[in-house]
Structure 1
């Protein structure tokens, strides 16, 4: 949601849960039993209860040595009053559910693209995407003209992230970020992860001061991502734009600001309008596995089509002459899918460092575009 570039899925996308699959978080990890919804017997219909915010438990973060050192640095670096930071920290709560959600998947759990895609590319998101595109076609066209990012990619991201604003998160951003900045669970690169979240905590304070809002009023995902596009606070500062001309940036309530900001983010992370054709091309691979060293070469397109073909990768259709990466989408016990992905696919992975995420954005956007066309609505692009 930036540095969404480092959060493979640390940002929480609300998923419409399939009856055939266990609930998962944005990484594709199964949620812990305590956070899974239990199936209840049918009951008479009644008015839905309001959504309940996630409320943590009080701990005195201000007594923690690392917290005090952090606040000293922020006060000196950014000109905050130390007493104000102390008063703010006294109101912050520890959120154990955020800690549980960032824990890595159990060892040996197979990845399954087909199961993941069924959660992300479903009729609810497709129908909502058609409605969103119809209502915001002018802003989507303007964003494409300005930033070069097609409407279907922006629509795909906003659908995967929050179902077009339906699920923007109910954690207090300061609670989630402080918890992860100072109480991140034991995991590889724990110190790096905590440093990242400390940077986002500082960015939240800066953003709140800049926008003139109470930082405790900000709500978002378990990882501190904000608004319809689920931007991390540092990305709000760097990439969010007032695309509707209201005089302020509002990623929670303004679809137009969300559209412009997503396009600005992708353009700032390597999206190239001159890239020809689709962002991915289906491919098959030879049994000799000479292509295997081409996997896992980082989130970048580095190979010419002829290099891939020489290694035994055969695209279903001849792709344009540009650079590609070889992407593998594992399907549990079923055969792995292989795709050639150009640089724009890898620009999407800077939003969330996951092949599954980027492919779900591409496929959801495509499904929405085709659904609009089937309804007789031109894309206007």
Structure 2
């Protein structure tokens, strides 16, 4: 959900986590933090004493800053290499076991939200390998670091605002659940639990799906299943709608017509008939009465793959704004379903 699958490789994340050092920062003395504390007091009724005491315990996490830096320019995107990291034998085997164990919860989620098991399982598999890699950073540390000391990038101001919002939600979530904010562990970007929800998403979209009276995305895979389904449903998932079909271009790759179609963004705005002028699909299963968007998956120096994507594909991109990510969820889910049928 945080885009980490795009920002850094698993190897980079593991290396950074192993080398992570938490340094004294005295965040409680920073001018920007004082302003944030004043805002939290005014908006939410916190006290200055409690917040200053909290920020006095926060550590600066330099590795989180470094992992937020964009990749060096010049290296072409490679869908096949990306896919190989996520659609691989271990995740497929673990996904089949997860599906078997939580089949009842997955069925219930599909009934309530319309999201099929293979998508929920595929997404949790891509995010954390079914709870194996949920992150070991204290969420308060990384959110505070990124909210007030984000690296110097073109999007620095916007990203700092985003993380300040998540820090606000983190403190509110801890207060609402009567928990110490420092008990929450997560990724280097502050994402939490099996589905890697940011604090704001936990407060808005997470559900108590196991019925125990609390939401726990770290220790309850059933809550994770229901929360993923609920999130996708809120963000445009449509019951029984297909996801994507492979396409073949009938126009040159750099044509204006093609560039216009690819520039529509995360939106299904064409009818199948409209797309036939630039691309076709060999699939006889592609309905003619729904909308599609044209998606390109670049393969480095090899040929680009093209797909007709529906609103459900784009719903996955609202979990993580990446075509590579959404297609990995789709592919991993399909492979896990196939493995179970064997």
TM-score range, shorter chain: over 0.9
Deviation at 1:82, TM superposition (A): 1.0
Structure 2 stretches lacking a partner, 5+ long: none
Deviation at 1:274, TM superposition (A): 4.4
Q: TM-score under structure 2 normalisation?
A: 0.95
1:367 pairs with 2:331: no
Q: TM-score under structure 1 normalisation?
A: 0.85
1:357 pairs with 2:325: yes
Moved more, 51-60 or 99-108: 51-60
Which of 78, 95, 99 is matched with 1:133 structurally? 99
Deviations 1:41-66 (A, max 9, x none): xxxxxxxxxx9694411111112111
Task: Give the equivalent residue in structure 1 for 2:312.
Answer: 344
Are residues 53 and 78 of structure 1, via their aligned partners in 2, closer, same or farther at CA, if it must alter by over 3 Å?
farther
The CA distance in 2 between the partners of 1:335 and 1:315, in whole Å, is 17
Question: Is contact 2:124–2:130 with CA below 8 Å preserved after alignment?
Answer: yes
Deviations 1:152-178 (A, max 9, x none): 000001000001101100000000000
The CA distance in 1 between the partners of 2:212 and 2:140, in whole Å, is 26
Task: Give the equivalent residue in structure 2 for 1:115.
Answer: 81
The CA distance in 1 between the partners of 2:14 and 2:186, in whole Å, is 17
How many equivalent pairs are there? 337
Deviation at 1:286, TM superposition (A): 2.1
The CA distance in 1 between the partners of 2:142 and 2:315, in whole Å, is 27
Deviations 1:323-367 (A, max 9, x none): 111110011111000001000100001110000100000000000
The CA distance in 2 between the partners of 1:64 and 1:349, in whole Å, is 36
Question: Is contact 1:28–1:116 with CA below 8 Å preserved after alignment?
Answer: no
Which of 281, 298, 308 is matched with 2:265 structurally? 298
Deviation at 1:236, TM superposition (A): 0.5
Deviation at 1:291, TM superposition (A): 2.1
Deviation at 1:247, TM superposition (A): 0.9
Task: Give the equivalent residue in structure 1 for 2:247.
Answer: 283
SS in 2 for 1:27: helix
The CA distance in 2 between the partners of 1:31 and 1:317, in whole Å, is 34
SS in 2 for 1:71: helix
Which of 152, 157, 165 is matched with 1:186 structurally? 152
Task: Give the equivalent residue in structure 2 for 1:229.
Answer: 195
Question: Is contact 2:61–2:145 with CA below 8 Å preserved after alignment?
Answer: yes
Are residues 237 and 154 of structure 1, via their aligned partners in 2, closer, same or farther at CA, if it must alter by over 3 Å?
same
Question: Is contact 1:225–1:232 with CA below 8 Å preserved after alignment?
Answer: yes
Deviations 1:282-337 (A, max 9, x none): 00112433322111312111111111112x21112242121111110011111000
The CA distance in 2 between the partners of 1:107 and 1:354, in whole Å, is 18
Moved more, 283-292 or 251-260: 283-292
The CA distance in 2 between the partners of 1:32 and 1:373, in whole Å, is 32
Structure 1 stretches lacking a partner, 5+ long: 2-6, 11-25, 38-50, 375-381
Deviations 1:249-287 (A, max 9, x none): 111111111100000000111111142xx3010001124
SS in 1 for 2:296: strand
Which of 297, 303, 317 is matched with 1:335 structurally? 303
More helix by share: 2
Task: Give the equivalent residue in structure 2 for 1:27.
Answer: 6
